[in-house]
Structure 1
Amino acid sequence: MSKAKPDRARAVRWLTGTLGWAGGGVLAATVVFVGWAWWGLGGEGPGTDSAVNPRWGASVMVLGVFGIVLVRHLRGQGTDPDPAQPRSRSRKHLLFPVFLVVTAVVFVFVALPTDSLPPLASPRDFTASEQAIALWGVAVLVALGTVLSLGVLLGPRGKPRGLWWVGAPAGALVVVLVAGLVTPLSEYRPVTHTFLSEAPGEPAPVPTDVSEVGWTWTAPENTEVVRVDAGSHGPVVVLRDGLIALDGRTGDELWTHRARYSYSPLDWTRGVLSGQGGLASVTFRRGDDVEWSHLTLDTATGQIVEDVPFPEEVPWNAGTWSDARLLHTDAGNYVYGHKRTLYVVGTDYEQRWERPFGAANRERLCVSGDTAVLPYEDQIILGEMCADQPAAEDLTDEDSRSWGDRVDAAQESGTVSLVALDAATGEENWRREWDTHEEETPPVLWPGGAPRPGAAPVFLVADRAFDVRTGQDLDVVPADLVGLHPFGHAGKGVYLHADSEGALIAEHSDSESGDPLRVHRTDAEGNVLESTVLPDSWLPADRIRGAVLNDALTHTDITRPGSLEAGERGTSSVVVTPLREATVTEEDLRRIDFGSDLLVPPEEGRGSRPSLEVSSPLIPVPGALVLALSVGSTPGQATEPFALVP
């Protein structure tokens, strides 16, 4: 037993000595690593990256001082005939090296590049930086090297060769491995994607009326709610960094896709696809890829339907109204609008087709309105008014100032056309045309909204309704009921809802006449089934489009926080107006009150933040009517969804 103990002690000291030489190898190789991280990854110059935590430099100071202590210690060692014999070192002599080791370990945490490591960084402040990661790696290596090098101080005397050629190369290899991890760490972008294996049963119907707040939902931290779209089973909350789908009946989360550190800055690349409640899209980068990835998701389950690169040809401003938003993806094709031209680009970045419209049409002298593009499911409807070629020969100026000349030429001799294009191929599905007259104006396309069960979707132009899928004329709008705007369209707030089975139409009176506002319900033949009389005094026309349910109109009544004194409470309610054959009075209204901390007045009191914006859109979804209450301006707005249920 007495012989075994010295053998065990000798083995332990040989091991600590080997680890000490490994620490020395780490420290020596770290000197080279510092040069590579500082100059090799400097980009525009050594250390120019603003994401670098300057505290990493303290680790280099520790490296230098500890290196001097270690070299002096090794130079003072002689060859000992019994290298297993322990050194006699005082605690006082070891105190300073231990202090340096502790300091090095502390600076691993102090020098963390918190803005460049996704698990630690706030998505708002995240800055990808390979150099910041590499220089933090210096702090990690210095701490590791100093800890291991204590073995030289505590291990056997002398410099046995066997320990050197095992430990030092191993330490250098560790530095090489750390260098190899710098790029993967700097490109690390975690993506959260949860989904269901199958659809969660039959979706609840869209409510025809509401009576109470059923549930509320709080957005995750460090992100913003952009808007709320209607999915197949409830709302799809469009976040700044992704999508979260909720069950409309309960508010439970169905699925999530969030790329908190690599999301597209373009809000129009996220959300439920136009006219398709069953599909949603999200765009993000994988790692440090230059290319964007574009996913199409099933809104019922969150499963990936399509995963393809986002075409680099899509311009940054392709989401404005005049250019249309990203409209549809089908079989790896992208349809987008830019400068009044529709483009389809494949995943190989090859253009499939393009279709100019309005002023961009070079073959005919055409003009289109602000809402000339209407996407629905797998097709895109374009509306334009074009002059016949003979009338256009004298007009060659394509500038926007020729709008009046274009309209005059088309009114003299021209055609109004509505064309439905297949989103994937550009082929015409159907076309409707009629000759112009002297008061004709470019067509303005109004969507009729989601059709009721068993009905077909429609869109409206002036006082006419058309079947979206076939272009067929429908009779749901009674003759002479809708007064047209001087520019030829019905105006905002006239068509509340329409499908092939009937329409809900608001008849606005002249502002000077004092006549009440009427809402008419029609059938498929255009017969008025019932009329609800609403006094203008309490329901302004511009608020009637809050949300339209089958049996009620809804709008919000909210007091802006900036108009309240500190501690004062304002109004926060959803007003429900029943639709029936009667004259509605104030007593017939139902108010559903909701409370929100977002509407608490500022501490400074009235007028301190007069520009504080309040947005309160109401979105009918399966199972609920969702109020997306937003206070503040983008960026930095706060949004809280409330679900109103029957």
Structure 2
Amino acid sequence: MVSLVLAALAVSVVGAFAVPSLRERLWPVDHRVADTAAPEHGVPASVSEVAWRWRPPGNEVVDTVLPVPGGAVAVLDSGVVALDGPSGEERWHYRRSDAIVRSAGVTPDGAGIAVSYTDPAAEEGDPGETVVFLDGRTGRLRAEYEPEALPQEPGPSRFAHVSDEVFLAPGEDPLAVEAFALVDGEPVWSHEGGGAGEAGPLVTTGDAVAATAVLTRGSGTGEEHVLVAVGVDAARGDLLWEEEYPVSDFGDETVEVRYEPSWEALHLGFVEPGGGPVHLLVDPSTGRVLARDSRYPFWGLEDGYVVRTPDSGGGDRVRYSHVRFDGSTSGETVAGNAVGDADLYPGLATGEAVLRLRYLGDDGVTRAPVTVEALPWDGEPYTIDPGLGTAGWQAGDGTVPVDTYPPALLAVPGAVVVLDKDTWATELVGLT
């Protein structure tokens, strides 16, 4: 039922772009720039109330939210809209009626936004791709071009990995990386990989790119699996570091690589041969191990990380611990397990609290109204009602399945944003 509705919506969206209005045919680009750069804001250490609400024009769906120094950029089918973090007021936008956004990414410092468009009316064999590169602070156009040298077809992963000057694509071999200039799409450098195995995710920071792979060495009884991680200079492609970690014979199924823009460390999670889980927090610029823990670090902070474990006191409760890189614990908080919510979307952490979303009904399989639960390191827990209902994908009995569009909690400069998608529109709620 849901897949049929999704297909119908997809057709209606494409149809809307295929038959633009007369005004849109004459002026397909709607571009508004900010007169001055927005003041830079920090990510809030805590939130206590709803500061603003925003809905995109034309009831478009917000695909994701990207952080920029002044707040957030909402990525739509038609383009991008920048919002001030503390107030939610629009700062600038770039939208088109003659093409559809396929991918968008932000440089680590938030100074640039890259957007890949495709023309739904392009002829067969013509990718019909146009890239625009915008100033993240003002929305001014820094470059526009039709890429010709890119190996991959345009798609959602085009700008999944963006550094300050280039965007990255995995090469043909494990650990291979190719870099292309953000301003014109031309090749800049390539890093050769090699070995037999499965390539893992790429991770980009301001000055480095980390590539990972699980390689298989030897054969028969002597076969072993190794997680290999390399750091490459994002500007020049020079190798900065390389590390290897033996992993269990389940191979890539045991490995997890994670990184968030606000983190100070790369998370490598794996199972050692004949042992248990290991979680390493690694400096992506040097490869130095900042911390090693058997517990799952679900969020990274400037001075450490946060782990989530069952509470030793028993019962259906969970303990969050703020662990510094030196191994000391600087704060803890205990709350109800909410395992269903946490498994679907674990939330985020700040220097003052853990924030998580609650949106499961009593049966654990349908949606309930969204609430934000704040668990301070020092103080009593409290909840914030973002005012989001469940008027979305409804089953025959009027309930909303939980696996339709679960909400997301996103930290951006000046606010924590709740993104919730429903059938006809998307609403962003900013918490401060």
| Structure-2-length-normalised TM-score | 0.77
1:368-406 CA deviation, whole Å, 9 max, x = no partner? 44xx32122343201234456xx3xxx6xxxxxxxxx7x
- Supply the AA of the counterpart residue of 2:347: G
- Supply the AA of the counterpart residue of 1:460: H
- Supply the AA of the counterpart residue of 1:595: G
- Supply the AA of the counterpart residue of 2:343: D
1:284-323 CA deviation, whole Å, 9 max, x = no partner? 3699996533122222111223333323634337545xxx
1:504 aligned onto 2:306: yes
- Supply the AA of the counterpart residue of 1:272: V
Please say if residues 357 and 373 of structure 2, whose CA atoms lie closer than 8 Å, have aligned partners that are also in contact: yes
1:626 aligned onto 2:427: no
SS of structure 2 residue aligned to 1:306: strand
Please say if residues 81 and 92 of structure 2, whose CA atoms lie closer than 8 Å, have aligned partners that are also in contact: yes
**Equivalent residue for 2:75, pick from 238, 255, 276:** 238
1:281 maps to which residue?
114
1:195 aligned onto 2:33: yes
Structure with the larger strand share? 2
1:496-527 CA deviation, whole Å, 9 max, x = no partner? 2233x2222222469xx757422111223121
Equivalent-residue separation in structure 1 for 2:426 and 2:392 (angstroms): 16
**Equivalent residue for 1:469, pick from 280, 285, 297:** 285
- Supply the AA of the counterpart residue of 2:170: G
2:241 maps to which residue?
431
- Supply the AA of the counterpart residue of 2:161: L
Please say if residues 105 and 160 of structure 2, whose CA atoms lie closer than 8 Å, have aligned partners that are also in contact: no
- Supply the AA of the counterpart residue of 1:419: V
1:365 aligned onto 2:196: yes
SS of structure 2 residue aligned to 1:221: helix
CA RMSD between the two structures: 4.2
**Equivalent residue for 1:520, pick from 300, 321, 327:** 321
**Change beyond 3 A, Cα 1:602–1:309:** closer
**Change beyond 3 A, Cα 1:448–1:234:** closer
- Output aligned runs, 1:193-342, within 5 Å: 193-201=31-39, 203-221=40-58, 223-264=60-101, 266=102, 269-273=103-107, 275-284=108-117, 292-311=129-148, 313-316=150-153, 319=156, 325-328=159-162, 334-337=167-170, 341-342=176-177
1:459 maps to which residue?
266
Please say if residues 285 and 293 of structure 1, whose CA atoms lie closer than 8 Å, have aligned partners that are also in contact: yes
Percent pairwise identity: 21
Q: Which is worse superposed, 283-292 or 466-475?
A: 283-292
**Change beyond 3 A, Cα 1:575–1:532:** closer
Q: Which is worse superposed, 275-284 or 434-443?
A: 434-443
Shift of residue 208 of structure 1? 1.3
- The number of residue pairs the alignment matches comes to 401
2:16 maps to which residue?
125
* Structure 1: stretches of 5+ with no match in the other structure: 1-120, 134-184, 396-404, 452-456, 484-489, 564-568, 583-587
SS of structure 1 residue aligned to 2:223: helix
Equivalent-residue separation in structure 2 for 1:330 and 1:250 (angstroms): 27
- Output aligned runs, 1:135-154, within 5 Å: none
1:421 maps to which residue?
232
Shift of residue 257 of structure 1? 0.5
Shift of residue 348 of structure 1? 7.7
1:593 aligned onto 2:385: yes
The structure number with the bigger radius of gyration is 1
Equivalent-residue separation in structure 2 for 1:122 and 1:319 (angstroms): 17
**Change beyond 3 A, Cα 1:186–1:610:** closer
- Supply the AA of the counterpart residue of 1:193: H
SS of structure 1 residue aligned to 2:203: strand
- Supply the AA of the counterpart residue of 1:615: P
Please say if residues 333 and 375 of structure 2, whose CA atoms lie closer than 8 Å, have aligned partners that are also in contact: no
Shift of residue 228 of structure 1? 1.5
- Output aligned runs, 1:433-448, within 5 Å: 433-434=243-244, 436=246, 444-447=256-259
| Structure-1-length-normalised TM-score | 0.53
